[in-house]
Amino acid sequence: MANVEGQVIHDGKVVGYFEYYGSSSIAPTAFFDTWDEVWQHWRTMPEATCTCGKAVSVMLYTEYGGGSYWPSEACLTCHAITGIRCGYDEPLDINEWPKDGHPLGDEHQTEWARLCNG
Alpha helical stretches, state H, 29-75 = 35-40
- Residues sharing a CB contact under 8 Å with residue 86, sequence separation 6 or more, in sequence order: 25, 26, 27
Angle among Cα 107, 25, 9 to the nearest 5 degrees reads 40
pLDDT in tens, the chain (118 residues): 589 899 999 999 999 999 999 888 999 999 999 999 999 999 999 999 999 999 999 999 998 888 899 999 999 999 999 999 998 887 788 888 999 888 998 777 766 666 666 5
Q: Where are the domains of the chain?
A: 3-110
Please give the span between the terminal C-alpha atoms of the chain, in angstroms, as a whole number.
21
C-alpha distances in angstroms, 108 versus 11, 48, 82, 99, 101? 15, 27, 24, 15, 9
